[in-house]
Chain A
Amino acid sequence: GESVGLHLPTLSVQEGDNSIINCAYSNSASDYFIWYKQESGKGPQFIIDIRSNMDKRQGQRVTVLLNKTVKHLSLQIAATQPGDSAVYFCAENLIPNFGNEKLTFGTGTRLTIIP
Chain B
Amino acid sequence: DGGITQSPKYLFRKEGQNVTLSCEQNLNHDAMYWYRQDPGQGLRLIYYSQIVNDFQKGDIAEGYSVSREKKESFPLTVTSAQKNPTAFYLCASSPIVWSGADEKLFFGSGTQLSVL
Assembly CA distance A108 to B45 (angstroms): 16
Could you tell me the distance in whole angstroms from the C-beta of B20 to the nearest C-beta in chain A?
A: 19
Could you tell me the distance in whole angstroms from the C-beta of B107 to the nearest C-beta in chain A?
A: 3
Which of chain B's residues have a CB closer than 8 A to the CB of A4? 42
Q: Closest chain B residue to A46 by CB distance?
A: B103
The one of A34, A44, A103 in contact with B90, judged by C-beta atoms closer than 8 angstroms, is A44
Q: Among the listed stretches B62-70, B76-84, B92-100, which one makes contact with chain A, having 4 or more residues with CB under 8 Å of it?
A: B92-100
Which of chain B's residues have a CB closer than 8 A to the CB of A106? 42
Which of chain A's residues have a CB closer than 8 A to the CB of B6? 43
Judged by a CB distance under 8 angstroms, whether B48 is at the interface is yes
Q: Mark contacts of B18-33 with chain A using CB atoms, 8 A cut-off: 1 yes-contact digit, 0 otherwise.
A: 0000000000000101
Judged by a CB distance under 8 angstroms, whether B40 is at the interface is yes
> How many residues does chain B have at the interface if contact means C-beta atoms less than 8 Å apart?
32
Judged by a CB distance under 8 angstroms, whether A7 is at the interface is no
Which of chain B's residues have a CB closer than 8 A to the CB of A101? 33, 45, 48, 56, 58
Interface residues of B in 80-116 (CB under 8 A from A): 90, 92, 94, 96-98, 100, 102-110, 112
The one of A41, A48, A100, A108 in contact with B94, judged by C-beta atoms closer than 8 angstroms, is A100
Query: What are the 10 A-B residue pairs with the smallest beta carbon separation, nearest first?
Result: A43-B107, A105-B42, A46-B103, A105-B43, A107-B42, A43-B109, A100-B105, A44-B107, A101-B48, A43-B110
A residues apposed to B, CB below 8 Å: 4, 9, 34, 41-46, 48-49, 89, 91, 96-101, 103-108
B residues apposed to A, CB below 8 Å: 4, 6, 9, 31, 33, 40-45, 48, 50, 56, 58, 90, 92, 94, 96-98, 100, 102-110, 112
